[in-house]
Structure 1
Amino acid sequence: MNHPPEVNVLVVDDVAQNLLALEALLARPGIHVLKAGSGAEALELLLNHDVAMALLDVQMPEIDGFTLAELMRGAERTRHIPIIFLTAASQDQQRTFRGYEAGAVDFLYKPLEPHVLGSKVAVFVDLYVQRQRLQQQITEVQRLRKLNEMMTAVLTHDLRTPLMAIALSAEIVYRRGHDDAIQKAGQRIKASSSRMARTIDHLLNFSRIRTGIASISPKMADLGSVCAAVVTEIVEARPDVKVPVQCEGDLTGTFDTDRLSQVFANLIGTALEHAGDGVAVNVKLDGTHKERLNVHVSFPTVLSDDVQAELFRPILAGQGRDGVRSTLGAGLAIVDQGISAHGGSIVARSNATEGTVFEFLIPRSERPSH
């Protein structure tokens, strides 16, 4: 059976009998008492050991407890160690103030009450153990994140090869097809595989994001055409769905067409998934404003409170709370990233009056992101 590592508690007193007494009082599984007979000896121990807390006698020759505490506070390695002062002197207010100023968390007066001493030490030892566990968890999360990034990079690289084969095959079908239907099918496969390749690149970009927003490559384009291409692809793949698109005003602007294609694909796909069978998802593009372009994606179904609470969290696809497979978190997290990269914003509403509405806007003239 593996036992947890012992936690070090530093005890500093110039009287040897006091050190032995404190060691006996603190004796319990999981605690290792480091004994120092002087301030200099204590500093040497602190250089070589991690300490959960320190019990310092105030009155010692050469380096007294207050001076030792100030030296500990002046070093990065030891500044966060909790300090309890031990003193036989009366509770003098000025001395107490100096002790707290030196970094004490408490004072204990001799003769020591064993239960009080044990309880106070146990609190700081438990806090130290919890901090160590938390640090271990943070380290493990960072390790897994790096592993995930590496696997994502490998996956995106490996997917490009079969996608290229699909694109080349689609080109052959398109060029050698004997009728329009076959040629159109080849053209659609080629266009879809090309967009999938770009989506893979964006997935890699998305996985590397720490803070801020991802870079984009804006160019002059028509938002209506971008949306129409995505809707056409969705409807061809799923002939049973209904995605009517309404366009109003001038929809030209400067933006990254690939990123906004990804935004539309994820947003409309998420809407279709949660709207329900046979329920239309309505898309409205509004270009009547001079400085911005507005988009509404709506359907009459009302989302549950649990789903609404996790709308834009980057959750991987999996089983939802109701057992239904859901990609909501991942899809809308990517949507949010894409819109933020354009200097825009998105809001979501879901209630009995409106149903569910996703509304986003982007500046008509894109402001380059950094």
Structure 2
Amino acid sequence: MISDIQTKLLIVDDLPENLLALEALIKREDRTVYKALSADEALSLLLQHEFAMAILDVQMPGMNGFELAELMRGTEKTKSIPIVFVSAAGREMNYAFKGYESGAVDFLHKPLDIHAVKSKVNVFVDLYRQRKEVRQQVEALEHSRREQEVLLAQLQVTQVELEHAVRMRDDFMSIVSHEVRTPLNGLILETQLRKMHLARDNAAAFTLDKMKAMVERDERQIQSLIRLIEDMLDVSRIRTGKLSIRPSRFDLSVAVGNLLESFAAQVSAAQSSVNYRAGQPVIGQWDEFRIEQVVSNLLTNALRYGAKKPIDVSVYAQGDQAVIEVTDQGIGISEKNQQRIFQQFERVAGSHVVTGLGLGLFISEQIVAAHNGQITVRSTLGEGAMFRVCLPLEQKT
């Protein structure tokens, strides 16, 4: 409220008794009166405080009231303070005119009219409070405006993020639909073909060799569906912070070697080959299933984008870290795309036909991070890519 604003008043007179008398006249609980016996003391107080008004005696030794007023009017901090002059000189001295010229808003003659003094001080105090309140309101409005600008900027960012999320959702649903349909279509066609053979009593279609091939085809399609589902479940676990890591002690070089053996059929289907280099045992505490998942994702990408050229896989220890490197000689990744391939649903391909949900590298990075490790890529367009996974040999507790 305006009445709650505390005000400061300055009175300047070279006679202490005059200061005491004037102070007693204008002082109230909501006002603080500062007294100065000279212009120099007054200037010091003016630099320290913000005053609602100043009452100056005209005739003072040294710098007089008019000179003090001119200094106040020439200083940015004090130029707006209302000045009231007080003088015991007669009206014939024409001090009032000179006072107004010096920037005074009023001129009082001694002996002072008590009611006039109180009335004038009340007016200037009220004006000061009103200006103060308006200034506070303006500052509050300006603060509110800045807050609204920040909020608007945040809302705009949120809107862009939501639009991006919607696009990602739509793209993801389109990708899922396509990727799930592919193995399902294979299973449906296989089923329809078998039903047709059964309807025609064509037993020759179900020889042992043909049945074995059918089962292998079914298994590939089912495994493809399982991988898609597991990827989506892993993303859900990552988002909710429930991606579990169950470390156990094992030899990383042996685990990767065994995994590569299980990839033999996929390597053959991609018309590629894998060169595996592993020296001494690399033993540490990691989640074997999850690390195999990372290497599987890297190897799958290398086969997918490796242009049917040989792939190099290495496992070795370097300092206090275990290192896995998967290098292909395929289409490579541009520097711009290297910044986003670890994001969800990103599938960098150029003119290459892309399969998969675009989750493999995202999940791999999260798994490696959960092991306090790091996964990086180094690549040049047209010259292949090398993915490096670094895992601490000793897990931090």
| TM superposition score normalised by structure 1 | 0.48
| TM superposition score normalised by structure 2 | 0.45
Greater helix share, structure number: 2
Query: Greater CA radius of gyration, 1 or 2?
Result: 2
